[in-house]
Structure 1
Amino acid sequence: PDSVRLVGGTSLCSGRLEVKSNQRWSSVCVADFDQQDAEVVCRELGCGAPSVLQGALYGKVEAPMWTKEFQCGGHESALLDCRSSGSARNTCSPGKAVGLTCSEPDDVRLVGGASRCAGTLEIKQGDWRPVSDLFSDWTLKTAAVVCRELDCGSAVSVGQRKESSYRPLWWIRSDCVQFGSSLRECAESCLASTILDLTCS
């Protein structure tokens, strides 16, 4: 997006928040920004959910400062779509600019179910591919790790469906997942026709 950016961090998804208005970038004061505002920024940047929000995390900053308070509901697609307070305030000390870390872009998802917390498990490594239930060794315990990673509560059911032909899928070593590694780290390429379906609460 061309109206918000995170600068001085380790990736596109972390840094000091700057907002563009009238062709100039301004830092945002911590007092004028909250968790719902952070959710909108992370979504606008194509990152995962916000994990750290605090002032002066990415170095001290001088003016210009954004002078209005953001009042996002959390569902907006862009920060500048949010309502902001009408009155300008200049009470922000320079060290109190918003530092924000969003989680990295999503690489695990459930698709085709009744909600974002149910459906076919897919993982992105280059391209999105479904996960195979090759050895039928997925238990609710393994699925619980996925549900937690997706912020979807606990695991309700694990199912599988068979497709008519073999195609490239990911196979996840369940012992690796239960050991605490991320799903991506446990994924291996395979040719299979049995696809995993999960339902989380």
Structure 2
Amino acid sequence: MWRLNTGFLLFLIILLCPEDGQGKSNGEIRLQDGDTQYQGRVEIYHSGEWRRVCEEGWGLNEAKVACKQLGNEDAHVAKISYSPRGTGSFWLSDLNCTGTEEGLYNCSSPGWGNVSSACDTGDYDDAGVICKTPSDGVLRLINTSNAYEGRLEIFLAGRWGRVCDYGWRLTSADVACKQLGFTGAHTPVVNTSPRGTGFFWIQNIDCQGSETSLADCSHDGVGEINSRFCVETSSNDAGVLCKGPNDGEVRLTGGNQYQGRVEIFYAGSWGIVCKVYWYTYEGQVLCRQLGFSGALQSWSDFVSRTGPRVMLDEIYCDGTESRLDNCSHGVIGYPNSFGCTGAYPHEIRAWCEAPDDGQLRLLDGNGYNSGRVEIKFAGEWRRVCDDGWGINDTAVVCRQLGYSGYVRSVRN
């Protein structure tokens, strides 16, 4: 279990427990038979066992996702026909990644164990990668079931080493999470389980909060640490629970910023939105939530491949909602409608209206008719400063957005 520096111990322990008694999570990957720890053939863990990944459909996007999942910066090469060849059966083949996924388990595929006969007969071999060697000071998260939490390791002098939890606190965890690309930390984590193996690189870290790298913070020095605080105790690995997306956030994947497959975030993971008959109102609400003025087109698409789990179904909007999860819907995470419970659900795709310069939008309000004002200029959304802001400005904004007037003007 994980001991957290917070009063919400029971709730977070439930979320952070591994999926089996061996401390492994479904979808975890490893590299085997490589000359270094940054290359090898890919194996993936599911239902209590490690199995191979077939090279059929394997390319650079899949290799990039694998390297990112392993905590490395990127992939140099996607290796096919990796030698020496693995033994045993395959878990996956014909993976199709966009390159933006958090792990191979988020990519679409024919499904666990549903591999082509060409893989089983030996026409295809093992998928492999050569990942880029990390730079000094790079961090990664280990033993994690999602991209936002885990045990910390730091890369120095050509090797990964553990981070000791002696002196570990929220300010330092916040710096670590920001270095990893998140907005900050929910909480620092100590006494991570399962414990790491190998040596500690760094201990007694004291960050002020303005540092861009954990290595820039004050600490007891870099080296193979053998102090009693880190070695002679049974609880000594530092970890983090970083701030990920908020429940109910939506995104478009597999396309560009204006179009793609609709996914929604809930309880630590992304999943698809499913509905057989998708109507105009749902598309308009979705695109407005993403900050666009509306939807050019949105539709339900039957797919013959497995992908992320169905997170939301039975959605009915009247068009006035500011968020998709404000619409009537089924139980989140438990699809129960026609076309959404089988192996090949109907996923939703959307094409939102790209705004022109001078267009306005409202963000972070209590509804679709209130919020912070942003304006489109030179291809990007920018904030509007409240210096000199008054009721006349508010009236113009509300009229431009299609309202008859305003209720009140807000600053700060």
TM-score (norm 2): 0.25
Choose between structure 1 and 2 for higher RCO, CA contacts under 8 A separated by at least 6 residues. 1
Greater fraction strand = 1
